[in-house]
Chains A and B, each alone.
Chain A
Amino acid sequence: MSSIGTGYDLTTTTFSPDGKIFQVDYAQKAIDNSGTAIGIRCKDGVVLGVEKLVISKMLVEGSNRRIFSCDLHAGIATSGLAADGRQIVNRARAEAANFKNFFGDAIPGEVLCDRIASYKHLFTLYGTRPYGVGTLLAVYDEEGPQLYQIEASGVGMRYFGTAVGKGRQGAKTEIERLKLSEMTCREGVLAVAKIIYQVHDDAKDKAFELELSWVCDESQRRHERVPADLHATAETAAKAALEDDDDD
């Protein structure tokens, strides 16, 4: 970044002369350099997938998860700084519980997205630094299945399909080729696994763990990890597809 050292990046309270908050841009960089996270909205629910880069072969499988539930009907996939991500999930859980306590019903996806976005946005105005986290929010409420993405800047938007992290460019191109409105979540899981394997850069990052979750009719509209057998099927199919591509 050409502006490094110009002094406009020391705090979020200073604009650069061309109107940027550099601390927010840096937070976005933290996200762009982390493992890919994908979300797609199918006709009967939402599927989330994360390429969790494994820092050590000694790491116990399933530790340091990147996908969390924040209410029965809502789940979050984070990319970027893992510890920042957990803080966001804690906030989302508190918002969801508080809403249910006050209004007597589950928090709608749109409202939860707004609350998380507002929270992140606070740190682009006050405090120490913005959160270095990209958030994918999957919700299935009375209005149907919804997918949201909340950026470090505090912008929250609704998507049919989206991706964040290292492989986002390639992943988005692949998602665009899917027929999401005709696809069930069971098919979606296979597609997400395939895309994650496809965009994974074996040269730079060796080991990774595939995390998959969904919130759909098949899971009684609850956000859950994808059943082990389907997870295994998806992973095998993804690896097979990758080898086929290599052969071509």
Chain B
Amino acid sequence: MDFIRNNQSQSPDTGTTIIGVAYEGGIVIGCDTRVSIGNYINNRTSDKITPLAENVFLARSGSAPDTQLVADYVRHLVHQHVMEIGRDPDVKTVANLAMQIVYNNKGVNHGQGLCAAMVCAGWDKHNGGQVFAMPIGGTLLPVPWAIDGSGSTFIWGFMDAEYREGMTRAETEVFCIKAISLAMARDASSGGMVRLVTVDKDGATRRLVTHEEMEPFYEELDLRKVRDGSGGVALGI
């Protein structure tokens, strides 16, 4: 149990893969489900996508408590804002509130300040589907797609090569699942299943993608084959 004791002072890290992709008419935001401290997995079915409003969602990576706290503050402020304007908020407004909190609480040294790298995405009637990248430090920028978390380093090439404009909702969901499962295959602190939230003019839809539906990569066990007894090892893409 040494590996646990040694890491007792650390808080759970959502060593993670998160993604947000905009398509014509909406956005897809996704994440893996692993939460770990070092090499100990605290939770294999966690939900790293937090609703900030009816129409805006936040995918969280970095320190789990830090990002939860940011999300809670933003939800509080957005709730008041929604009461005042009497309609769903603009995505830009919600993302800006999250950014303000991250920016105003950043620390230079480890242990001080927030460790929060997030992707904020949603749909509003003024500007349609929008994705905002919000890396550590409080940068906020609108992008067609964003990835973050430890697993994201493994899929930059995939994103650059495979993303294209004009994807449909279904194509975008498949694209996100593929990106996250590729990251989960290579990144030790990303894994489990894939969670997706799709937001468009008709509202938000949640989707949980289990191993039954996912393609295995590299040396991953194909759970579908393991289950039916024909089990083997995947030999790559």
A contacts, CB < 8 Å to B: 102-105, 108, 110-111, 114, 142
Contact = CB atoms under 8 A, between A and B. Distances in A.
B93 interface: yes
A188 to B, nearest CB: 25
B84 interface: yes
Label chain B's interface by main secondary structure.
helix
Interface residues of B, number: 13
Contacts of A104: 92-93, 95-97, 99-100
Contacts of B84: 111, 114
B85 A105 contact: no
Nearest to B99: A104
A95 to B, nearest CB: 12
B90 interface: yes
B122 to A, nearest CB: 14
B106 interface: no
Interface of B: 81, 84-86, 90, 92-93, 95-97, 99-100, 126
21 contacts: A102-B97, A102-B100, A103-B81, A103-B96, A103-B97, A104-B92, A104-B93, A104-B96, A104-B97, A104-B99, A104-B100, A105-B90, A105-B92, A105-B93, A108-B85, A110-B85, A110-B86, A111-B84, A111-B85, A114-B84, A142-B90
B89 to A, nearest CB: 8
Contacts of A103: 81, 93, 96-97
Interface of A is mostly: helix
Nearest to A110: B85
B125 to A, nearest CB: 8
B126 A142 contact: yes
A108 B82 CA distance: 12
A111 B100 CA distance: 21
A102 B89 CA distance: 14
